[in-house]
C-alpha cells in the first residue's frame, strides 16, 4: 500500500526520472537493470497519511484528468515521465473499480516499455511483510506493466527474477543473479526502500550501515550504476 504522502511522491519521482535518464546509456544490446529490495506489491491500495498535503485525493484526481500536462502536449508527449506513468496506473486501477498506486518497480518497467528498451529486474520482498505477501504479484509484474503501459515499439525484452529471502540475506541471491546476467548492461539502478535506517542494530524491515555497504558493493557495475535509498 503506497503511503499517500509527499515521501511517496518524492521517492517515486526520483526513481522514475533516474531510470528515464539512465535509458540514454542503454540499447537493444545493453539493457537497463533494476534491482530493488523492500519492493512491496506492484499495485496496492493507497494508504492515507496525516501528512498528505500536496499528494491527497484531489491531487490524484487531477493527475488522472491530465491537468499537469504541458500546454499543447498529449499525455504521451508530456516530458514529466512520472506524471504520465502515474496517470496510466490510476486510470487502469480505477477502470477496474480500485484505487491503487504503483510501486517503483512498476514505474521503472513502464519507463522501459514505453521507451522500447530491454529491462532486467531483480525484485525482493517477503511472504509475510508489512504489505502482506507481495511475491505472487511481483512475479506477475511484467504482465501487469504491459497491460498498463504497453510496449510502444513491441520489442522490449523483459527478464524478471523475484526473491522471497528476507533482507539482508537476499544479497547473496542478488549476487548470484547478477553473475547469471552475463551480457553487459548499459546501466544499473539499485533501489532500497526500508522503513528506517539504523546505523547499527536493525530490525526486519530496516537497513543498517553494514548491510547497506554490502548492497552497494554487489550492485556496482563496470558501466554506470546509480543507487537510490529512501528511508526514515
What mean pLDDT is reported for the chain?
A: 87
Mean per-residue pLDDT, 192-207: 80
Q: Do 66 and 84 meet the contact criterion of CB atoms below 8 Å apart?
A: no
Torsion angle, alpha carbons of 190, 115, 65, 59, to 10: 20
* CA triple 169-172-177, angle to 5 deg: 135
pLDDT of residue 198: 78
The pLDDT-based confidence of 105 (bands split at 50, 70, 90) is very high
Q: Do 122 and 178 meet the contact criterion of CB atoms below 8 Å apart?
A: yes
pLDDT of residue 7: 81
Residues β-bridged to residue 3? 47
Say if residue 71's pLDDT is above 60.
Answer: no
The string of DSSP codes covering the chain is: --EESHHHHHHHHHHHHHHHHHGGG--SSS-EEEEEES---SEEE-EE-TT-TTSSHHHHHHHHTTTTSPTT--TTT-S-HHHHHHHHHHHHHHHTT--EEE-HHHHHHHHHHHHT--EEEEEE--TTBTTB--HHHHHTHHHHHHHHH--TTS---EEEEEE-SPTTTHHHHHHHHHHH--SPPSEEEEEE--SEE-SSS--TTEE-HHHHHHHHHHH--SSEEEEEE---
Domain range for residue 224?
A: 3-229
pLDDT in tens, 154-184: 567 899 999 999 999 999 999 999 999 988 9
Number of structural domains, the chain? Answer: 1
Q: Domain with 94 in it: what CATH number?
A: 3.40.50
Q: Which residue has the cell 544490446?
A: 29
Best CA proximity match to 40, nearest among 104, 84, 85: 104
More confident residue, 51 or 160: 160
Mean per-residue pLDDT, 108-125: 94
Most confident option among 29-33, 42-46, 128-132: 29-33
Amino acid at each position: 500500500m503506497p503511503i499517500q504522502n509527499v515521501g511517496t511522491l518524492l521517492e517515486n519521482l526520483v526513481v522514475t526520472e533516474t531510470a528515464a535518464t539512465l535509458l540514454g546509456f542503454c540499447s537493444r544490446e545493453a539493457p537497463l537493470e533494476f534491482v530493488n529490495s523492500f519492493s512491496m506489491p506492484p499495485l496496492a491500495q493507497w494508504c492515507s497519511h496525516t501528512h498528505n498535503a500536496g499528494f491527497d485525493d484531489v491531487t490524484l484526481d487531477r493527475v488522472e484528468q491530465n491537468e499537469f500536462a504541458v500546454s499543447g502536449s498529449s499525455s504521451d508527449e508530456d516530458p514529466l515521465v512520472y506524471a504520465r506513468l502515474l496517470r496510466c496506473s490510476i486510470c487502469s486501477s480505477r477502470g477496474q473499480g480500485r484505487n491503487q498506486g504503483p510501486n517503483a518497480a512498476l514505474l521503472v518497467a513502464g519507463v522501459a516499455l514505453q521507451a522500447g528498451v530491454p529491462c532486467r529486474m531483480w525484485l525482493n520482498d517477503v511472504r509475510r511483510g508489512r504489505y502482506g505477501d507481495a511475491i505472487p504479484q511481483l512475479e506477475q509484474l511484467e504482465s501487469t506493466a504491459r497491460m498498463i503501459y504497453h510496449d510502444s515499439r513491441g520489442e522490449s525484452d523483459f527478464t524478471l527474477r523475484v526473491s522471497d529471502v528476507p533482507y539482508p540475506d537476499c544479497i547473496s541471491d542478488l549476487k548470484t543473479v547478477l553473475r547469471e546476467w552475463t551480457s553487459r548492461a548499459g546501466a544499473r539502478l539499485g533501489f532500497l526502500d526500508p522503513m528506517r535506517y539504523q546505523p547499527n542494530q536493525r530490525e526486519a524491515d530496516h537497513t543498517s550501515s553494514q548491510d547497506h555497504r554490502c548492497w552497494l558493493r554487489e550492485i556496482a557495475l563496470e558501466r554506470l550504476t546509480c543507487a537510490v535509498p529512501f528511508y526514515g
